[in-house]
């Protein structure tokens, strides 16, 4: 794996073919059956796809960020996504991946800004979305579909155009692609204005892939080893780990949908997967809801095991008596959790937002290893990750920096990183690039601190810190993460910018609340009725008082309002990676927030 500086992203497939060809390099479920693609077949499909793109006039010799052809993709995770990514790279063109949930206005901005030439979409629904704004994108010449849709052009018509001469040309172009050539433009969510196009070169991503692989570590795997992929591939996190899997010889199976995750995990028994904290929270909430329905001894055992796991520390032994109890809990209770995940999980890597420390303790105690990492799109993305190796993992932190990069904290605590994976810049925005990358240091906008001079702890987003009217700063994320440990709280957003005190909007965990109300003999009718009942409000006040003890006076939540609807991507309050859009929530619930301070 030497010569990182000479590798291009598409070299991962040739590497796998030479080192450990897989019978199931990629797999997806079609008509109820898993369809697999072996490594040699992928090589052939991708080369023919590249040749067909050349026939369409894509790629060629202009490798400048402005001059290179831009090809967009908006699709669910599937083998065709990876085929397109690799095929576009091999022509010297640039892939512009877009979230399937992107709204039409943002979609039009991205396609126009990048002057996209051709587009690949997966479904009729996404095709309709693109067609609705197509008139506003004069550069767009044609749209191809992955699904068979009447009246459209299927993507397979492109590789069908390959000829021996075109295939030779592909090899010639591949050989001439410099590792520092732009590989992709990833537009970050436009929660604070128009989306910004992050330009990442082959070298940016490959260096991050190979340094992450070495640091974590992902061992080369000629033996059968597989993962389930469900985080959006257009996000740099899932794209980066995809190439880690390719370079490590790990087979990638694509989940049918978010709704089928549970079934897909049991079917394929993966060795691991990547996720975001919100999905882990959902899994945990489901487990706790199931536990709440138990009765008698079974119920007592369940909650005893969860309580025991909540005290787990991977660095400090709980002693012989604690370890014996944990072994019993693992045999009686947690073995069922592991079975639900396919019974073979060796790693779950979580990123994209801060994970609750309580969840990390419980899952790791249950022998479901969850490793938290961190990094922005602008760093391709990984900066830090907790490791499998003893002494290299600490709950409540995002781990040590990966090998080969430098990390420092600015005077105000802002995390800055320098190394080969720092982006080329923002597309067409030299002004923003100059503000963000200073003397080679990427200023992340995140605030952090060092723990034990080794582990990085993220304390908040610089832009999310707010000042009360008393001039005191409040960091909302740590408060929100602590409060979400309560089984009664589904979601929470801390408010108080320019106000006398800190307040909060709380979305109750209605499944658990309903259970509690039944135990208290309080009739449950609707969410709207439940949040007005005095006993319910008193109970939530107790929950808030309990968690307030963990924070200093200015950070404590003095007043709160209970909401009746969960925040979601569809509702516009969450980003596609399930982070909170604070400005959207603030605007949407401005009257409710005003009530807190009336």
Nearest to 74 by CA among 63, 66, 65, 85: 85
Residue 416 structure tokens: 């800055």
Q: Specify whether 497 is located in the same domain as 548.
A: yes
Cα gap 8→4, rounded to integer Å: 9
**135 phi, psi to nearest 5 deg:** -60, -25
Q: What is the CATH number of the domain that holds 560?
A: 3.30.300.30
> Is the Cβ–Cβ distance between 376 and 446 less than 8 Å?
yes
Q: HEC profile for 422-459?
A: CCCEECCCHHHHHHHEECCEEEEEEEEEEECCCEEEEE
Q: Specify whether 516 is located in the same domain as 546.
A: yes
Q: What is the CATH number of the domain that holds 100?
A: 3.40.50.12780
**78 domain-assigned:** yes
How many residues appear in the chain? 598
Nearest to 481 by CA among 353, 305, 315: 353
Residue 486 pLDDT: 94
**434 domain-assigned:** no
Residue 421 structure tokens: 């994976």
Q: What is the mean pLDDT of the chain?
A: 94
Residue 3: pLDDT above 80?
no
> What are the b/e assignments for 298-328, b being 16+ CB within 10 Å?
eeebbeebbebbeebebeeeeeeeeeeebee
Q: What is the DSSP string of 94-116?
A: EEEE--TT--HHHHHHHHHHTT-
Q: What is the DSSP string of 133-158?
A: HGGG-TT--EEEESS--TTSEEGGGT
3-class secondary structure, 532: coil
Q: Specify whether 242 is located in the same domain as 372.
A: no
Sign of CA dihedral 200, 273, 347, 492: positive
> Is the Cβ–Cβ distance between 271 and 226 less than 8 Å?
yes
**12 domain-assigned:** yes
Q: Specify whether 97 is located in the same domain as 10.
A: yes
Least confident of 23-37, 216-230, 500-514: 216-230
- How confident is residue 299, by pLDDT bands cut at 50, 70 and 90? very high
**567 domain-assigned:** yes
Residue 325: pLDDT above 70?
yes
Residue 157 pLDDT: 98
Residue 191: pLDDT above 90?
no
Q: Write the CA distances from 523 to 291, 532, 535, 541, integer angstroms.
A: 21, 13, 12, 20
Sign of CA dihedral 536, 542, 545, 547: negative
Q: Specify whether 113 is located in the same domain as 56.
A: yes
Residue 216 structure tokens: 């974590």
Residue 336: pLDDT above 90?
yes
According to DSSP, residue 580 is labeled: B
Residue 243 pLDDT: 97
- How confident is residue 193, by pLDDT bands cut at 50, 70 and 90? low
Nearest to 91 by CA among 212, 209, 10, 189: 10
- How confident is residue 2, by pLDDT bands cut at 50, 70 and 90? low
> Is the Cβ–Cβ distance between 95 and 120 less than 8 Å?
no
Residue 190: pLDDT above 80?
no
Q: Specify whether 517 is located in the same domain as 371.
A: no
Q: What is the DSSP string of 328-356?
A: HHIIIIIHHHHHHTTS---EEEE-SSPPP
Residue 261: pLDDT above 60?
yes
Residue 42: pLDDT above 80?
yes
Q: Which residue, of 225, 253, 272, is where some domain finishes? A: 272
Q: Which residue, of 272, 307, 326, is where some domain finishes? A: 272
- How confident is residue 317, by pLDDT bands cut at 50, 70 and 90? very high
**585 domain-assigned:** yes
Residue 160: pLDDT above 60?
yes
Cα gap 335→321, rounded to integer Å: 20
Cα gap 497→503, rounded to integer Å: 10
**551 domain-assigned:** yes
Q: Specify whether 217 is located in the same domain as 71.
A: yes
Residue 111 pLDDT: 98
The pLDDT tens digits for 45-75 are 999 999 999 999 999 777 789 999 999 999 9
H-only helix segments in 230-334: 236-248, 261-268, 277-292, 296-309, 320-329
- Crossing angle of helices 357-365 and 296-309, in 10° steps, is 110
The pLDDT tens digits for 387-440 are 988 899 999 999 999 999 999 999 999 999 999 999 999 999 999 999 999 999
Q: Specify whether 89 is located in the same domain as 192.
A: yes
Q: Write the CA distances from 493 to 359, 490, 567, 584, 593, integer angstroms.
A: 19, 11, 11, 12, 11
**432 domain-assigned:** no
Residue 232 pLDDT: 93
Q: Specify whether 267 is located in the same domain as 313.
A: no
Q: HEC profile for 193-212?
A: CCCEEEEEEHHHHHHHHHHH
Average pLDDT over residues 131-136: 97
Q: Which residue, of 257, 272, 287, is where some domain finishes? A: 272
3-class secondary structure, 175: helix
Q: Which domain holds residue 161?
A: 4-272
Q: Specify whether 227 is located in the same domain as 162.
A: yes
Percent of the chain whose predicted confidence (pLDDT) is above 70: 99
Total number of domains constituting the chain: 3
Residue 189: pLDDT above 80?
no
Q: Specify whether 170 is located in the same domain as 278.
A: no
Least confident of 182-196, 373-387, 531-545: 182-196
Nearest to 539 by CA among 559, 567, 517, 555: 517
**435 domain-assigned:** no
Residue 220 structure tokens: 């080369």
Cα gap 118→57, rounded to integer Å: 10
Q: Specify whether 257 is located in the same domain as 309.
A: no
Residue 460 pLDDT: 83
Cα gap 203→216, rounded to integer Å: 19
């Amino acid at each position: 794996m030497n010569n990182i500086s000479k590798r291009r992203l598409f070299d991962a497939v040739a590497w796998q073919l030479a080192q450990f060809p897989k019978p199931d390099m990629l797999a997806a479920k079609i008509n109820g059956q898993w369809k697999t693609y072996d490594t040699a077949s992928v090589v052939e499909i991708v080369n023919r796809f590249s040749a067909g793109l050349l026939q369409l006039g894509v790629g060629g010799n202009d490798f400048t960020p402005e001059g290179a052809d831009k090809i967009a993709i908006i699709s669910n995770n599937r083998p065709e996504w990876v085929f397109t990514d690799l095929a576009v790279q091999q022509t010297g063109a640039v892939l512009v991946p877009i979230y399937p949930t992107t709204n039409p206005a943002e979609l039009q901005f991205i396609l126009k800004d990048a002057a996209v030439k051709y587009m690949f979409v997966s479904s009729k629904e996404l095709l309709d979305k693109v067609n609705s704004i197509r008139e506003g994108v004069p550069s767009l010449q044609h749209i191809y579909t992955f699904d068979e849709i009447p009246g459209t052009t299927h993507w397979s018509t492109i590789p069908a155009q390959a000829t021996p001469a075109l295939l030779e040309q592909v090899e010639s172009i591949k050989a001439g692609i410099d590792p520092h050539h732009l590989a992709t433009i990833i537009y970050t969510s436009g929660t604070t204005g128009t989306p910004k196009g992050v330009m990442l070169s082959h070298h940016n991503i490959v260096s991050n892939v190979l340094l992450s692989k070495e640091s974590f570590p992902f061992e080369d795997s000629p033996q059968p080893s597989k993962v389930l992929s469900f985080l959006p591939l257009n996000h740099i996190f899932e794209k980066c780990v995809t190439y880690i899997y390719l370079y490590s010889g790990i087979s990638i199976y694509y989940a049918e949908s978010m709704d089928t995750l549970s079934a897909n995990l049991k079917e394929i028994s993966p060795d691991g997967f990547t996720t975001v904290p919100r999905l882990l929270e959902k899994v945990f909430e489901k487990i706790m809801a199931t536990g709440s329905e138990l009765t008698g001894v079974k119920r007592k055992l369940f909650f005893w095991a969860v309580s025991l796991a909540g005290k787990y520390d991977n660095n400090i032994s709980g002693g012989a008596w604690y370890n014996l109890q944990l072994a019993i809990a693992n045999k009686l209770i947690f073995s069922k959790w592991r079975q639900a995940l396919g019974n073979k999980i060796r790693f779950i890597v979580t990123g994209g937002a801060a994970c609750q420390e309580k969840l990390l303790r419980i899952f790791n105690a249950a022998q479901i290893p969850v490793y938290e990492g961190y990094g922005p799109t602008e760093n391709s993305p990984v900066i830090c990750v907790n490791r499998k190796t003893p002494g290299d993992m600490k709950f409540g932190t995002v781990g040590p920096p990966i090998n080969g990069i430098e990390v420092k904290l600015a005077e105000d605590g802002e995390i800055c990183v320098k190394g080969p994976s720092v982006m080329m810049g923002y597309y067409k925005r030299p002004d923003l690039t100059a503000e963000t990358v200073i003397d080679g240091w990427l200023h992340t906008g995140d605030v952090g601190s060092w723990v034990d001079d080794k582990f990085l702890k993220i304390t908040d987003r610089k832009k999310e810190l707010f000042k009360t009217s008393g001039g005191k700063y409040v960091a909302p994320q740590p408060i929100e993460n602590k409060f979400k440990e309560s089984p009664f709280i589904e979601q929470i957003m801390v408010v108080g910018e320019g106000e006398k005190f800190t307040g909060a909007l709380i979305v109750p965990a209605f499944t658990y609340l309903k259970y509690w109300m039944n135990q208290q003999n309080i009739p449950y009718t609707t969410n709207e009725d439940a949040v007005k009942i005095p006993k319910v409000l008193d109970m939530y006040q107790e929950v808030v008082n309990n968690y307030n003890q963990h924070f200093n006076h200015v950070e404590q939540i003095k007043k709160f309002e209970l909401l009746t609807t969960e925040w979601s991507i569809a509702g516009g309050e969450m980003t596609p990676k399930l982070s909170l859009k604070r400005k959207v929530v603030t605007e949407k619930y401005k009257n409710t927030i005003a009530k807190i301070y009336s």
